[in-house]
Amino acid sequence: MKKLSFIICLFLANAAMGQKGKWVDLFNGKDLNDWKISENPQTFKVEDGRLIVDGPRAHLYYNGPFQNHVFKDFELELQIKTNPGANSGVYVHTDFQENTWPSKGYEIQVNNSHTDWRRSASLYNIVDCAEVFMKDNEWYTMTIKVQGKHIITKLNGTTVVDYTEPEKPLRGKGQENRLFSQGTIAIQGHDPKSHIEYKSIRIKVL
């Protein structure tokens, strides 16, 4: 029995090592079986291989089997298209919450023309960028690379944020858990006037 347990553990360890450095799709383009939605499930649906985000505030958390939906060091790549005036976001190192805005981890902004001046690829309320790099109604690629306490965000290969979390980061009220740790990925549905589409969400464990 001990030998069998050892073999199983060795197999799982080798399988985990084999996953490093390889891109894995988190969104299959067919359904949301590996995801968990908070608050308003109607905000998220799948059409023609695309994730459609359109409705009242809600968050879509990856809850699938890959890495048991817990990520620490990784590169995340998303293909995104925003409608004019739309707002969304991508959370990293977060945990599922039944309602309100996720309190744990960092949010990477998705917003090219919403009334909020913080634009796409900003590290929301930590390193904010007012410059607009992408256009609405056009597909673009956002990449998010996290290693240790360091994060880099890019839009179509152009670096927007390059941030290293200090040893004692200053965080205001409600932002106490905006810190690197580990956790899952979440997609934000911001408000009923925001229509966003994602057609690829994939991750590479580092």
Backbone angles phi, psi at 166, to 5 degrees: -70, 170
**Global confidence as pTM:** 0.90
Burial class (CB in 10 A: 0-12, 13-18, 19+), 20: exposed
Report how far apart, in Å, the C-alpha atoms of 149 and of each of 130, 146, 164 are: 24, 7, 6
Asked whether residue 88 is assigned to any structural domain, the reply reads: yes
| Residue-wise pLDDT tens digits, 118-152 | 999 999 999 999 999 999 999 999 999 999 999 99
Domain total in the chain: 1
CATH assignment at residue 130: 2.60.120.560
| Residue-wise pLDDT tens digits, 39-87 | 999 999 999 999 999 999 999 999 999 999 999 999 999 999 999 999 9
Asked whether residue 12 is assigned to any structural domain, the reply reads: no
Residue span of the structural domain in which 140 resides: 23-205
Determine the Cα–Cα distance for residues 40 and 59; give it in Å rounded to an integer: 8
**What pLDDT shows up at residue 174?**
86
Question: Tokens for 5?
Answer: 């347990």
